[in-house]
Structure 1
Amino acid sequence: MARAKKAEADKAGVKQKAVCSLCGKPVDPAYKPFCSKRCADLDLNRWLNGAYVIAGDSSDEEGDEPLAEREPPRDDF
């Protein structure tokens, strides 16, 4: 429903105010896309604690083994 309102506003040429993705308050340009240092820090904390995850293939063969067990790169092209 929010997308429909945004699309209608875009068609009408009306600019909507950006809001913080965490709390919904107006964005502060110093902390864009957040409203404050607090919300920016909360978001960073979520990334660092693994609350946000970027989807990807979990069977990355090269990345599964520790660096010490990998063969060194070959340079005899």
Structure 2
Amino acid sequence: RFTRRDGEQVWEEIQPGNASAWPTISGGIFEFGFSDALLQMWASYLAERAGALSDRFGTATVAEALTAHEVFDAALRSHESGSAESI
């Protein structure tokens, strides 16, 4: 971001880190990657099965995945036809 300090122009970067839904060994000091995402999905799935999900988001259901595919399909058809498509 751009700011002025003591009459000088200053460009700054903010490094926010990250916070996962499930605790990790490294915490927020490293960049979140594919292996972290996979472990977060496993943790969510297993906690949901054990009834220990608490206030966290659960994994996507089959119905939710199907609805998402229907929305994406309608978007592709809409783009192709140039008109609104029903879902």
TM range, smaller chain: 0.3 to 0.5
Compute the TM-score of the two structures, normalised by the length of structure 2.
0.30
Which structure has greater strand proportion? 2
